[in-house]
Structure 1
Amino acid sequence: MISCVAVLPQPPLVVPELVGGDDPRAAAVRAACVEAAKALADSSRHWLAVGAHPAAARFDAGVSGTFRGFGVDVPVSLSRVNPTAPDPELPLPVLVAAWLRGQADAEDVGVRLVAADSDPARCAHDGAALAGELAGPDPVGLLVLGDGSHRHGDHAVGRPDERAADFDAAVSRALAAADLDALDRLDARLATELGAVGRAPWQVLAAAVRADGRRWRGTRSRTFVPFGVAYHVAVWAPVTG
């Protein structure tokens, strides 16, 4: 069963070795991510992560990797036991999931990558399947990775887009309130135009939690926009009693 949900961004800047100098904006995002990951580990030492990639893929806990492709050879593993040589080609969400696992001292994390261009119907299907996978009696923390729009203001990675502010404000409200319907309503085409790679994982999350059948509440939520990119951090817990 899903014990807890942590929704986190996936920028390489969460890894301190990849940041040139001591940037307080990066440090703030990193601290919030690690704090949320530790909350997830408090609920279960075993995690399943969902992220987006051009094509769907699955990575089990025996995999290890390195951030060498992002400039520094920082080794990471999806489990405490590391039986394989680091794969330098692992997708960014897998690397970030592995790094967060290590920071929170979790036992292991499997990763399911969904196609970034999945339409909402496909996300609903994948989320229901994920809920079925996690429906057993053992608690599993659900880690959901993805960034908001990269088109905020003068520091935007792409061309600044005035629609980015409203889009990420809606995402922030939905994550704070654990509002599944609001996540379902996110416009896939708009998200693509704004570079919001978290859209598909967030909609998979909504479907998985809906299929889980319990009520959920947000226990913490923050949004950062330090470099023209929106980074959302949220933790959900099931409502008891």
Structure 2
Amino acid sequence: MLVAAAVVPHPPLLVPEVAAGAAAELDGLRAACDRAVQSLLAARPDRVVVVSSAPATGPLPASARADLGAYGLPLVLGGGPGPERLPLGAVIATWLLDRAGWAGERKLLGVAPDEPAAVCRELGRRAVGAGRVALLCAGDGSASRGASSPRRPDPRAVSFDDDVAHALGAADTGVLLAIEPELADSVSAAGRAAWQVLAGAAEGAAYESDLLVSTAPYGVAYHVATWALEIGEAAFA
């Protein structure tokens, strides 16, 4: 059963060594991510499943290295010895779990950005097996919000992000599953597939939820949220 979940963004600038002199600008976002992961681990999961966008759908190798070499940053953040490299979302999620001191079982699941919602939903259902499972979903919101965004502005981006933030804050699986992949792609929202995996995993249960942060400091939407299985249901987990 899914006992808890956390949603975090994956900007490399979350890592203080990467942000350097600008690290303080993301202090609030970084603290919210730490808080979300700590909340996830407080649910005492038997294992944590990391979900993030990847070139292909499927389990990511435990031997893969969590580094930022693909972004020109020679910084290893954890993971295995390589030579395979984890995709960005899994890199940041691995770093956050290590930062929180998680030494228990973890599995890494990559989801192709063009996977249909129905496939993401089924992946979520399969990700939750026996025991107490927690999901850590890494992915950014729209990168097409305006002139300061790294992608071409799209007039639908801000309302898209507002809808996602509300759904994450309300643990509304129906709204998340209804996100159209084509719209998410148009507004350059990298987190869509991971959010829909979460929705599939959580569907049919009730969760206490909290939207810790929803911000767009560099023209990219970053959402941080926590979901915790309601006490009455957790007793049967």
Judge same fold: TM > 0.5, yes or no. Answer: yes
* Deviation sequence 1:23-80 (CA, Å, 0-9, x none): 43322221211111111122236311111123113125454432233343332334xx
Q: How far apart, CA to CA, are the structure 2 residues paired with 1:189 and 1:116?
A: 10
Secondary structure of residue in 2 paired with 1:142: strand
* Cα-Cα RMSD: 1.9
In structure 2, the residue matched to 1:103 is 99
Q: How far apart, CA to CA, are the structure 2 residues paired with 1:160 and 1:194?
A: 8
In structure 1, the residue matched to 2:89 is 93
Secondary structure of residue in 1 paired with 2:21: coil
* Deviation sequence 1:72-101 (CA, Å, 0-9, x none): 3332334xxxxx524463211221121011
1:4/1:40 contact within 8 Å kept: yes
1:226: how far off? 0.5
1:200 aligns to 2:199 (yes or no): no
Q: How far apart, CA to CA, are the structure 2 residues paired with 1:192 and 1:72?
A: 26
Q: Which runs of 5+ in 1 are unaligned?
A: 79-83
2:7/2:224 contact within 8 Å kept: yes
In structure 1, the residue matched to 2:115 is 118
Q: How far apart, CA to CA, are the structure 2 residues paired with 1:169 and 1:109?
A: 31
In structure 2, the residue matched to 1:150 is 143
1:27 aligns to 2:27 (yes or no): yes
1:237: how far off? 0.6
Number of residue pairs aligned between Structure 1 and Structure 2: 230
1:68 aligns to 2:69 (yes or no): yes
1:209 aligns to 2:202 (yes or no): yes
Q: How far apart, CA to CA, are the structure 2 residues paired with 1:88 and 1:204?
A: 24
Q: How far apart, CA to CA, are the structure 2 residues paired with 1:88 and 1:31?
A: 29
In structure 2, the residue matched to 1:81 is none
Matches within 5 A, 1:1-241: 1-44=1-44, 46-61=47-62, 63-78=64-79, 84-87=80-83, 89-107=85-103, 108-131=105-128, 134=129, 136-137=130-131, 139-210=132-203, 213-241=204-232
Q: How far apart, CA to CA, are the structure 1 residues paired with 2:24 and 2:155?
A: 26
Instruction: From the superposition, tell whether residues 222 and 65 of structure 1 become closer, same or farther in structure 2 (CA, over 3 Å).
Output: closer
* Superposed structure 1 runs of 4+ greater than 6 Å apart: none
1:170: how far off? 0.1
1:224/1:231 contact within 8 Å kept: yes
1:238: how far off? 0.8
- Look up the equivalent residue of 1:196 and give its one-letter code: A
- Look up the equivalent residue of 1:141 and give its one-letter code: A
1:150/1:229 contact within 8 Å kept: yes
1:5/1:143 contact within 8 Å kept: yes
Which range moved further: 41-50 or 187-196?
Answer: 41-50
